[in-house]
C-alpha cells in the first residue's frame, strides 16, 4: 500500500470537450464514459445496450474516431474531444446525415440510431463518398434488431443527395416517422432515460440454478453492512405474488417463494442508491441453495412430476384443429411427405434492455416503463400491490424494440413495489445478461408434419403436432399452442387436416410471445413438406404452391370461408421472375464451382391478424381544443414498427388535415383509452380502424359546429378539448369449437419469399445472397414502413435460420448469442401486394409478424437445393450442416 500511496495520482480532474463545450469531470476516473455522458452531463442520447462493446449503441466520437463509450474510462478522456449525437446537428436542426436517415426511414425503434449516426459520421470524415462495403465495414460494430440494416446503408450512401422528406403524408404516403426527429437527435426518452437523478434503484438477485430450493439468509444484516442500501425485498413483501398473461393463469411470482424454477428467476431484491446497488456482488448475497434435478426438454417434462400443481405431464396447453378425415386420405394418397424439425430458444435481443421507474404520489402510483402492453400491465400491477386500478397510472416510454419480449412484466413489479414501500422514486435497468436470463424466449418446438397430395398435385391431407417447450411459467404459452395448429398447413387449400399444438412446462426460461407466436417454427416443417411433395411429383416448387394456394371463397382448415382479402397467389406471381432467374443463375454458377454451391428456396405463409378467437378491441379518441389543435390520444404503443406514424396518417387523411397538425399522446393509461397490446400484428388493423372511426366521429361532430370560431366558446373537458371523437373496433371472430372450427381471425396477411443462398460445402457455412419478398398487407398505409418491417423481419428470420440459439447460462450476452450484423444481410427486393380487407382502415391488414415467417423455410429450401441435405435441428449452424453434408458424401 505504501508504494501506491507514494505515487502522485493523476489527474483528479478530467478536462474534456463534449460537443464543442469544455467540461470538467471530478470523480472516479474508472467510470465508463457512457455513464458520465448520460448521468453527469445529462446527454441521454448516448444509449447503453450491453456495457460490453457487443452492440455499439453507445458509439460516440473520441477525437473524431468512433469508440464504444461503455468501454472507455472517463480518465482516458483527459484532453480529448468527445462528440455524441447531441453534437451532430443541434437542439432543433438535423444534420444532412440525420435528414438522410429520416428520409430513408432508417430509424425504427431508434435505440441504435445514435450509435449508427456516430459510426457513420466517423466514416464520412474519412471518406466523403463511401462504397456500400465501406459503409458496412464502418457501421459493422453497431447492431440493429429492427431494420435489417438496408435503409441505414442507403441513408449513409445517399447523404450527399438526401431523398425528399415527406412530412405531411396521407394514407399511402412514404411519410417520415412523426417521432423520427426525436429519435435522430437523441432526445427521445426510452425506459432508462427518464429515471430521476435522485431516484433509488432496485436490483433482483436471480437464481443461478435452473431448479433449486432456496432460503434467504440475514438480508437485514447484509443491508446494514452496506452504506446506501435501504432495504431488502422478498416474496413476503409482495401483497399478491403472482402474475401472468391469462386471467386464470397467474403462475409467475414477482419474487420466488422458496423455489427457483429457472436460471434467472428473481429470488430477492435490494433497494438503495445506484452506487450501493451496483456495488453488490451476487455471490456475496446470503442465500442458501438446494439444487434439484432440472426438467430440460419436452420429453423430460412428460415424465417429470408437475412443476405447477395440477399440470399432469407438465402440460400447460393443448389445442388442435380437425377437419375431414385424414386417415382415409393418407391411406390412399399418391404422395406423402413426412418431416420433423426441432428449433431452439430464440432471444428477442432488443437493443434496449428492460428499464423503467416508479414514483408514489400519495395513494397512487405512477409507473414509467418500456412496454408493449400498458393497460394489462397497469391491471397486473394493481393486483400485485392490492390497489384499485385507478390508483396505478402506467406511462409507456419510447420502446427500444420489443418483438413480443416486452409484453410481459419485467422491471415493473419491483420498481412499483419498492417505490410504494420506500415512498421514493425507484428505477431499474436490466443489465444485458440479466435481460437475456430473465426475459421470455421464442418457444423451442419439435414439429412433426405429414402432408399428402393426389397424382394431379392437389394437396389432400395435412397432419402435424408441434410440441413446445414453454419453460417455467405460462406467459403466452397457450396463445402459441392455439395459434400454431390453426396456421400449421400454411396458406393452402387442405380438405382434410388434423393439427395440434402442446406446450409443456420445463425448468427453462419462460417461453412467451415472439414475432409470429409459434407460426415461424411450424412453417419450417410445413414448407419442407411442400418441397418434398413437389419433388415427389416432379413439379416446380413454386408451381406446386400456386396450384394449392388459398383464394377468395376458399375454406381454411377451421372452416372459415375467406372473403376477398386473399393475396397469396399475387405474392407468388410477384416473386416468380426472381425464382426463375435465380434458379438459372445458380445452375450456371454451380457448374463452375464444385465446393461452393448455390440454391434457391421458396416459402409461402399466412398469418391471422389480431388475437386468435379472442375479443381484442381497440378504443381511440381524438380531441379538438378551442384553438383548433387536434390531439390523438393513442393507447397503442409504438415499439419502433411505426404505429405513431401510421395512426397519425390515418387520422390526418380521415379528418382532411395535415399530419403535422396532430399532436400525439401515447400509451398513458390516464390520458388514453385501451388500444390493446402491440402484438399479433394488430395495431395498424385494429387500432387503425378505431382511429379511423374516431376521426369520422370527430368529423361528424365538427360538421354540427357553425364555424371554427365557435369552438372558442365551448366548454373544455379535462384534456382541454371541446369536442372528442370516439372510435372502437373489435375484429369480428368466433370461438373455435372442440374440433377447432370457427372464424379465428377477421383477416390474414399473406407472403411469399424466395431466397438465393450459397453454401461452402467444406465449412457448412451459408450466406444468404438475395431475398425477394412479396407481402399482401391489404393496404400499405406507409409503404416505406412496410418495407422496413419486411427487412427487419427477414433479418430475424435469417437469425432464426442460421445463428440464433439461446442456451441458459452460456449465451447470456451479445457475443456468444449471435444476431445478424450488417454483413449478414442479403440484397433485398420487396414487393407490396394490396388485397384490401373490408374490416381494416382503408383496407389495411398487418405485416409485423408475417415479415418473418417465410424467411427461414425459404433459406432451408435453398440450402437443400445447394447441398441435397436438410438439417432438422435449427439453427443450421455450420457444424450441423457440415455433419449432414459429410454423412451424404459418405466421407470424413
Within 8 A by CB and 6+ apart from 593, the residues are none
Burial category of 712 from C-beta neighbours within 10 Å (exposed 0-12, middle 13-18, buried 19 and up): exposed
Using DSSP's 3-state secondary structure scheme, residue 766 falls into strand
Burial track 182-195 (b if 16+ CB lie within 10 A, e otherwise) = ebbbbebebbbbbb
**Residue 485 vs 826, nearer CB to other proteins:** 826
Task: Evaluate whether 501 touches 315 at the Cβ level (below 8 Å).
Answer: no
Residue 8 is a binding residue for other proteins (CB under 8 A): yes
Among 439, 811, 854, 867, binds other proteins (CB under 8 A): 811
Residue 73 is a binding residue for other proteins (CB under 8 A): yes
Helix (H) or strand (E) holding 326: helix 326-332
**Residue 52 vs 259, nearer CB to other proteins:** 52
**Residue 680 vs 885, nearer CB to other proteins:** 885
DSSP state of 260: E
The minimum distance between CB 157 and other proteins, in angstroms, equals 17
What is the Cα gyration radius of the chain?
27
Subset of 86-145 contacting other proteins (CB under 8 A):
119, 122, 136-138, 140-143
| Only segment of 92-100, 407-415, 680-688, 800-808 that touches other proteins (CB under 8 A) | 800-808
Subset of 824-863 contacting other proteins (CB under 8 A):
824
Subset of 262-281 contacting other proteins (CB under 8 A):
278-279, 281
**Residue 1 vs 309, nearer CB to other proteins:** 1
| Only segment of 6-14, 490-498, 646-654, 784-792 that touches other proteins (CB under 8 A) | 6-14
Bridge partner residues of 360 (DSSP): 365
The minimum distance between CB 306 and other proteins, in angstroms, equals 31
Subset of 199-238 contacting other proteins (CB under 8 A):
227-228
Among 17, 187, 234, 813, binds other proteins (CB under 8 A): 813
| Only segment of 344-352, 400-408, 529-537, 879-887 that touches other proteins (CB under 8 A) | 879-887
Q: In whole angstroms, give the CA distance from residue 371 to residue 353.
A: 11
Task: Evaluate whether 455 touches 341 at the Cβ level (below 8 Å).
Answer: no
The minimum distance between CB 548 and other proteins, in angstroms, equals 35
**Residue 245 vs 859, nearer CB to other proteins:** 859
Among 16, 18, 36, 70, binds other proteins (CB under 8 A): 70
* Location of C-alpha cell 435489417: 148
The minimum distance between CB 140 and other proteins, in angstroms, equals 4
Grid cell at residue 668: 398513458
The minimum distance between CB 443 and other proteins, in angstroms, equals 20
The minimum distance between CB 800 and other proteins, in angstroms, equals 13
Task: Evaluate whether 241 touches 257 at the Cβ level (below 8 Å).
Answer: yes
Grid cell at residue 234: 422478498
**Residue 52 vs 696, nearer CB to other proteins:** 52
Subset of 137-156 contacting other proteins (CB under 8 A):
137-138, 140-143
Among 17, 23, 39, 75, binds other proteins (CB under 8 A): 75
**Residue 78 vs 168, nearer CB to other proteins:** 78
Kindly report the number of other CB atoms within 10 A of residue 510's CB atom.
27
Burial track 274-308 (b if 16+ CB lie within 10 A, e otherwise) = bebbeebeeeebebeeeeeebbbebebbeebeebe
Q: In whole angstroms, give the CA distance from residue 792 to residue 871.
A: 25
Task: Evaluate whether 399 touches 371 at the Cβ level (below 8 Å).
Answer: yes
**Residue 226 vs 302, nearer CB to other proteins:** 226
Grid cell at residue 122: 466517423
Residue 32 is a binding residue for other proteins (CB under 8 A): yes
Site string for other proteins, 42-61 (x = CB under 8 A): --------xxxxx-x--x--
Question: What share of residues in the chain are helix, strand, coil (percent, to 5)?
Answer: 35, 25, 45
| Only segment of 74-82, 167-175, 619-627, 732-740 that touches other proteins (CB under 8 A) | 74-82
Q: In whole angstroms, give the CA distance from residue 121 to residue 97.
A: 8
User: Strand ranges (DSSP E) for 143-273?
Assistant: 200-206, 212-216, 229-233, 259-260, 266-272
Alpha helices in 679-736 (DSSP H): 688-703
| Only segment of 30-38, 238-246, 448-456, 629-637 that touches other proteins (CB under 8 A) | 30-38
Among 90, 331, 823, 868, binds other proteins (CB under 8 A): 823
The minimum distance between CB 887 and other proteins, in angstroms, equals 12
The minimum distance between CB 358 and other proteins, in angstroms, equals 21
The minimum distance between CB 543 and other proteins, in angstroms, equals 34
**Residue 76 vs 313, nearer CB to other proteins:** 76
Tell me, by CB under 8 A, how many residues bind other proteins: 79
* Residue closest to 871 by CA, chosen among 189, 459, 344, 433: 344
Subset of 280-339 contacting other proteins (CB under 8 A):
281-282
Residue 576 is a binding residue for other proteins (CB under 8 A): no
Task: Evaluate whether 371 touches 552 at the Cβ level (below 8 Å).
Answer: no
Tell me how many degrees the CA angle 493-496-499 measures, rounded to the nearest 5.
Answer: 95
| Only segment of 301-309, 330-338, 533-541, 813-821 that touches other proteins (CB under 8 A) | 813-821
| Only segment of 160-168, 255-263, 490-498, 807-815 that touches other proteins (CB under 8 A) | 807-815
**Residue 2 vs 21, nearer CB to other proteins:** 2
**Residue 71 vs 696, nearer CB to other proteins:** 71
Burial category of 645 from C-beta neighbours within 10 Å (exposed 0-12, middle 13-18, buried 19 and up): buried
The minimum distance between CB 152 and other proteins, in angstroms, equals 14
Residue 810 is a binding residue for other proteins (CB under 8 A): yes
Residue 707 φ/ψ region, left for φ over 0, alpha for ψ in the -120 to 50 degree band, beta for the rest: beta
Residue 28 is a binding residue for other proteins (CB under 8 A): yes
Subset of 733-772 contacting other proteins (CB under 8 A):
762-765
**Residue 140 vs 324, nearer CB to other proteins:** 140
Residue 458 is a binding residue for other proteins (CB under 8 A): no
The minimum distance between CB 116 and other proteins, in angstroms, equals 12
Grid cell at residue 415: 420498481
Q: In whole angstroms, give the CA distance from residue 33 to residue 68.
A: 9
Cis omega before residue 747 (within 30°)? no
Cis omega before residue 876 (within 30°)? no
Amino acid at each position: 500500500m505504501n508504494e501506491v500511496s507514494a505515487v502522485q495520482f493523476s489527474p483528479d480532474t478530467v478536462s474534456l470537450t463534449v460537443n464543442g463545450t469544455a467540461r470538467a469531470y471530478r470523480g472516479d476516473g474508472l467510470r465508463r464514459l457512457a455513464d458520465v455522458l448520460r448521468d453527469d452531463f445529462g446527454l441521454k442520447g448516448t444509449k447503453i445496450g450491453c456495457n460490453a462493446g457487443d452492440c455499439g449503441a453507445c458509439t460516440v466520437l473520441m477525437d473524431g474516431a468512433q469508440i464504444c463509450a461503455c468501454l472507455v474510462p472517463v480518465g482516458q478522456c483527459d484532453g480529448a474531444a468527445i462528440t455524441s449525437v447531441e453534437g451532430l446537428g443541434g437542439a432543433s436542426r438535423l444534420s444532412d446525415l440525420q435528414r438522410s436517415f429520416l428520409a430513408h426511414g432508417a430509424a425504427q425503434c431508434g435505440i441504435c440510431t445514435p450509435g449508427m449516426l456516430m459510426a457513420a459520421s466517423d466514416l464520412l470524415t474519412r471518406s466523403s463518398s463511401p462504397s456500400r462495403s465501406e459503409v458496412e465495414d464502418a457501421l459493422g460494430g453497431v447492431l440493429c434488431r429492427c431494420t435489417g440494416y438496408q435503409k441505414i446503408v442507403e441513408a449513409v450512401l445517399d447523404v450527399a443527395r438526401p431523398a425528399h422528406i415527406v412530412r405531411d403524408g396521407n394514407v399511402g404516403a412514404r411519410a417520415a416517422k412523426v417521432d423520427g426527429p426525436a429519435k435522430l437527435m437523441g432526445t427521445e426518452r426510452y425506459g432508462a432515460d427518464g429515471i430521476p437523478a435522485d431516484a433509488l434503484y432496485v436490483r433482483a438477485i436471480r437464481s443461478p440454478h435452473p431448479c433449486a430450493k432456496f432460503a434467504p439468509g440475514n438480508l437485514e444484516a447484509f443491508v446494514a453492512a452496506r452504506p446506501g442500501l435501504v432495504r431488502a425485498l422478498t416474496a413476503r413483501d409482495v401483497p399478491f405474488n403472482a402474475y401472468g398473461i391469462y386471467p386464470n393463469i397467474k403462475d409467475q411470482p414477482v419474487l420466488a417463494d422458496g423455489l427457483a424454477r429457472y436460471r434467472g428467476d428473481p429470488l430477492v431484491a435490494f433497494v438503495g442508491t445506484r452506487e450501493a446497488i451496483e456495488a453488490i456482488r451476487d455471490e456475496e448475497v446470503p442465500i442458501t441453495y438446494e439444487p434439484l434435478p432440472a426438467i430440460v426438454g419436452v420429453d423430460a417434462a412428460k415424465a417429470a412430476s408437475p412443476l405447477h400443481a395440477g399440470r399432469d405431464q407438465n402440460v400447460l396447453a393443448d389445442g388442435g384443429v380437425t377437419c375431414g378425415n385424414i386417415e382415409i386420405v393418407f391411406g390412399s394418397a399418391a404422395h406423402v411427405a413426412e418431416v420433423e424439425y426441432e428449433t431452439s430458444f430464440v432471444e428477442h435481443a432488443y437493443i434496449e434492455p428492460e428499464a423503467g421507474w416508479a414514483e408514489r404520489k400519495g395513494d397512487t402510483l405512477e409507473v414509467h416503463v418500456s412496454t408493449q402492453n400498458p393497460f394489462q400491465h397497469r391491471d397486473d400491477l394493481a393486483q400485485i400491490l392490492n390497489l384499485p386500478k385507478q390508483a396505478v397510472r402506467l406511462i409507456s416510454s419510447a420502446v427500444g424494440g420489443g418483438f413480443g419480449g416486452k409484453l410481459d412484466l419485467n422491471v415493473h413489479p419491483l420498481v412499483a413495489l419498492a417505490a410504494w414501500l420506500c415512498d421514493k422514486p425507484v428505477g431499474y435497468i436490466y443489465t444485458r445478461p440479466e435481460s437475456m436470463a430473465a426475459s421470455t424466449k421464442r418457444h423451442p418446438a419439435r414439429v412433426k408434419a405429414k402432408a399428402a397430395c393426389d397424382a394431379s398435385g392437389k394437396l389432400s391431407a395435412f397432419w402435424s403436432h408441434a410440441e413446445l417447450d414453454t419453460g417455467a411459467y405460462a406467459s403466452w404459452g397457450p396463445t402459441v399452442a392455439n395459434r400454431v395448429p390453426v396456421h400449421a398447413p400454411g396458406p393452402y387449400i387442405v380438405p382434410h387436416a388434423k393439427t395440434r399444438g402442446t406446450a409443456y412446462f420445463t425448468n427453462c426460461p419462460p417461453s412467451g410471445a415472439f414475432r409470429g407466436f409459434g407460426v415461424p417454427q411450424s412453417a419450417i416443417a410445413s414448407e419442407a413438406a411442400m418441397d418434398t411433395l413437389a419433388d415427389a411429383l416432379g413439379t416446380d416448387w413454386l408451381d406446386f404452391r400456386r396450384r394449392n394456394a388459398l383464394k377468395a371463397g376458399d375454406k381454411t382448415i377451421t372452416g372459415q370461408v375467406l372473403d376477398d382479402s386473399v393475396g397469396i397467389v399475387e405474392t407468388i406471381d410477384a416473386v416468380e421472375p426472381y425464382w426463375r432467374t435465380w434458379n438459372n443463375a445458380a445452375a450456371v454458377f454451380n457448374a463452375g464451382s464444385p465446393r461452393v454451391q448455390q440454391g434457391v428456396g421458396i416459402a409461402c405463409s399466412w398469418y391471422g391478424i389480431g388475437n386468435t378467437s379472442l375479443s381484442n378491441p381497440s378504443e381511440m379518441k381524438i380531441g379538438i381544443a378551442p384553438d383548433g389543435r387536434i390531439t390523438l390520444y393513442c393507447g397503442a404503443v409504438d415499439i419502433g414498427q411505426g404505429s405513431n406514424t401510421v395512426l397519425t396518417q390515418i387520422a390526418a387523411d380521415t379528418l382532411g388535415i395535415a399530419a403535422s397538425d396532430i399532436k400525439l399522446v401515447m400509451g398513458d393509461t390516464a390520458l388514453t383509452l385501451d388500444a390493446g397490446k402491440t402484438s399479433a400484428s394488430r395495431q395498424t388493423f385494429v387500432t387503425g380502424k378505431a382511429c379511423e372511426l374516431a376521426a369520422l366521429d370527430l368529423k361528424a361532430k365538427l360538421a354540427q359546429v357553425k364555424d371554427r370560431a365557435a369552438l372558442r366558446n365551448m366548454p373544455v373537458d379535462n384534456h382541454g378539448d371541446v369536442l372528442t371523437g370516439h372510435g372502437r373496433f373489435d375484429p369480428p371472430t368466433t370461438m373455435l369449437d372442440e374440433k377447432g372450427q370457427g372464424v379465428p381471425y377477421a383477416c390474414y396477411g399473406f407472403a411469399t419469399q424466395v431466397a438465393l443462398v450459397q453454401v461452402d460445402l467444406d465449412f457448412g457455412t451459408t450466406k444468404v445472397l438475395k431475398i425477394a419478398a412479396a407481402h399482401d398487407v391489404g393496404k400499405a398505409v406507409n409503404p416505406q414502413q412496410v418495407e422496413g418491417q419486411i427487412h427487419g423481419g427477414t433479418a430475424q428470420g435469417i437469425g432464426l435460420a442460421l445463428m440464433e440459439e439461446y442456451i441458459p447460462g452460456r449465451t447470456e450476452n451479445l457475443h456468444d448469442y449471435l444476431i445478424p450484423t450488417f454483413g449478414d444481410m442479403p440484397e433485398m427486393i420487396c414487393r407490396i401486394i394490396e388485397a384490401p380487407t373490408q374490416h381494416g382502415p382503408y383496407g389495411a391488414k398487418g405485416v409485423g409478424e408475417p415479415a418473418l415467417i417465410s424467411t427461414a423455410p425459404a433459406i432451408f429450401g435453398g440450402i437443400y437445393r445447394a447441398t441435397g441435405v436438410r438439417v432438422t435441428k435449427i439453427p443450421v449452424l455450420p457444424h450441423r450442416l457440415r455433419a449432414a453434408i459429410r454423412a451424404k458424401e459418405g466421407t470424413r
